[in-house]
């Protein structure tokens, strides 16, 4: 039996397979509000065969967006915009729906990637960003304002408020974005965190704010629903955040009952040097799993069914999260099930779609030839 298509339990959430559609920024919202693009995108990938779909980085306040087009969940309007989309998914898909809560910190006020991705000047509609320290992401950019005590409290409360809205929307799980150079990662990394107070300097101090955010969110999200954390295992820059520090962070999260660690890397510095290759980040997930015993998700250039199967069957990670591979093949889970002998759920309108050699793909007993 395929390990990839075996069930896994995340707190009170039982998933029928080990595949998640990773959160992927679409840069297509208006004032943080989801629209018809998100309706199409989310509903499409909720039918991919993955057991869980994670909504893209959803920002907890307006100045925490990466770009003006980023999705948000900070007011009634952003919450209302997501409601019919979630309702449609529930009507047609059995996939669990998670959401990644995020804050861009100093990497905010940027153009969309297809418009160059560079920082938007204040005079051209940009906004003043905030971060752990007044250190810009790259040379020549406007530096962020260092968050003071009231600012830290405001950001924590923004995460809490978004978590409460996510629960009102009926979402099944949350993931906190502590990776890719965004705010929580900025506090973790000595490259971006130059503070001299209780939130900077030592590893214990740099962990403090991300752990406070996790604790605050966990306190308001239903106990039976899981919360994971996405991390960058290394900055790929000498003297930066690394796998040893990631493991210590994961151990602290384990004490707090974290349900998974989604292990990525990079993003905090343009000086990073990343040796890209298929599955290049899997060893980081394996290291976290072996050191902590936590459920881990592997990400990064995982594109083939047998590759994903080997990762989970060998115990390198417990789940895989696919992003670009799912965009390229929105039925990736179906095709992986056919190749590996697994089963997926599909709406009855599609039961006749599989080739005659794959009649058991959907785990149904009646396919009808009419």
Catalytic residues: 182
The rounded Cα 338 to chain-centroid distance in angstroms is: 27
Tokens 């298509």, residue located: 5
| Dihedral, 306, 357, 45, 165 alpha carbons, nearest 10 | -90
Task: Dump pLDDT digits (tens) for 79-126.
Answer: 999 999 999 999 999 999 999 999 999 999 999 999 999 999 999 999
End-to-end CA separation in angstroms for the chain:
32
CB 103 within 8 A of CB 59: yes
CATH of 8-358 among 3.40.50.150, 3.10.20.310, 3.40.630.40, 3.20.20.70:
3.20.20.70
Count the Cβ atoms, other than its own, within 10 Å of residue 330. Answer: 17
Spatial CB neighbours of 194, under 8 Å, sequence gap ≥ 6: 132, 133, 135, 200
Q: How confident is the model over 334-343, as pLDDT tens digits?
A: 999 999 999 9
361 phi and psi, to 5 degrees? -55, -40
- Give the pLDDT band of residue 359 (cuts 50, 70, 90): low
Q: Exposed, middle or buried: residue 114 (CB in 10 Å: 0-12, 13-18, 19+)?
A: exposed
pLDDT(366) > 50 = no
Using pLDDT thresholds of 50, 70 and 90, give the confidence band for residue 184: very high
Q: Is the separation of the CB atoms in 65 and 26 below 8 Å? A: no
pLDDT at 358 over 90: no
Query: CA 230, CA 280: separation in Å to the nearest integer?
Result: 16
Average pLDDT score over the chain = 95
Whether pLDDT at 365 is above 80: no
Is 330's pLDDT higher than 60?
yes
Instruction: Point out the least confidently predicted range of 126-130, 309-313, 357-361.
Output: 357-361
For residue 361, pLDDT over 80 is answered with: no
Q: Is the pLDDT of residue 369 over 60?
A: no
Structure tokens at 209: 């704010």
How do residues 125-165 score in pLDDT, each as one tens digit? 999 999 999 999 999 999 999 999 999 999 999 999 999 99
List the domain boundaries for the chain.
Answer: 8-358
Strands (E), the chain: 8-10, 13-15, 19-21, 52-59, 96-102, 130-131, 145-146, 173-178, 227-232, 260-264, 296-298, 319-322
Between CA 133 and CA 130 the distance in angstroms is: 8
DSSP 72: B
Q: What is the pLDDT of residue 367?
A: 31
Nearest to 294 by CA among 337, 251, 332: 251
Indicate if the pLDDT at residue 368 is higher than 50. Answer: no
Once rounded to an integer, what is the mean pLDDT over residues 293-297? 98
Dihedral over alpha carbons 135, 137, 141, 143 (to 10 degrees): -30
Residue 319 has pLDDT above 50, yes or no: yes
pLDDT of residue 354: 76
Q: Residue 312: is its pLDDT beyond 90? A: yes
pLDDT value at 370 more than 50: no
Q: pLDDT over 90 for what percent of the chain?
A: 92
pLDDT at 59 over 60: yes
Q: For residue 8, what are the β-bridge partners?
A: 15
Q: Regarding predicted confidence, which is higher, 83 or 360? A: 83
* Rounded-to-5 percentages of helix, strand, coil across the chain: 35, 15, 50
Beta bridge partners, 322, equal 21
- List pLDDT tens digits, range 252-290: 999 999 999 999 999 999 999 998 899 999 999 999 999
């Amino acid at each position: 039996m395929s390990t990839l298509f075996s069930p896994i339990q995340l707190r009170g959430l039982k998933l029928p397979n080990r595949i998640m559609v990773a959160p992927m920024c679409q840069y297509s919202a208006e004032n943080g509000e989801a629209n018809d693009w998100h309706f199409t995108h989310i509903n499409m990938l909720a039918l991919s065969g993955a057991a869980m779909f994670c909504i893209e980085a959803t920002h907890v306040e307006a100045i925490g967006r990466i770009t003006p087009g980023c999705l948000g969940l900070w007011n009634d309007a952003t919450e209302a915009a997501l409601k019919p989309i979630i309702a449609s998914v529930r009507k047609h898909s059995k996939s669990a729906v998670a959401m990644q809560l995020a804050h861009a910190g100093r990497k905010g006020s940027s153009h969309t990637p297809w418009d160059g991705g560079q920082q938007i000047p204040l005079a051209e509609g940009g906004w003043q960003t905030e971060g752990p320290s007044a250190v810009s992401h790259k040379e020549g950019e406007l530096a962020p304002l260092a968050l003071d005590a009231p600012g830290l409290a405001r950001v924590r409360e923004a995460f809490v408020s978004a978590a409460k809205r996510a629960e009102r929307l009926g979402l099944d799980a949350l993931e906190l974005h502590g990776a890719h150079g965004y705010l929580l990662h900025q506090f973790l990394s000595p490259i971006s965190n130059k503070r001299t107070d209780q939130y900077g300097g030592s590893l214990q101090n740099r962990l403090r704010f991300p752990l406070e955010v996790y604790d605050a969110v966990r306190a308001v999200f239903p106990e039976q629903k899981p919360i994971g954390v996405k991390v960058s295992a290394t900055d790929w820059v000498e003297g930066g955040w690394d796998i040893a520090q990631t493991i210590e962070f994961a151990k602290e999260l384990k004490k707090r009952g974290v349900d998974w660690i989604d292990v990525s890397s990079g993003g905090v510095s343009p000086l990073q040097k990343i040796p890209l290759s298929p599955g290049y980040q899997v060893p980081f997930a394996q290291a976290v799993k072996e050191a902590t015993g936590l459920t881990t998700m592997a990400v990064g250039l995982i594109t083939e069914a047998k590759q994903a199967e080997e990762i989970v069957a060998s115990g390198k990670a417990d789940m895989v999260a696919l992003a670009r591979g799912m965009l390229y093949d929105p039925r990736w889970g179906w095709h992986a099930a056919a190749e590996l002998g697994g089963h997926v759920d599909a709406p009855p309108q599609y039961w006749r779609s599989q080739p005659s050699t794959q009649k058991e793909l959907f785990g149904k007993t009646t396919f009808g030839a009419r």
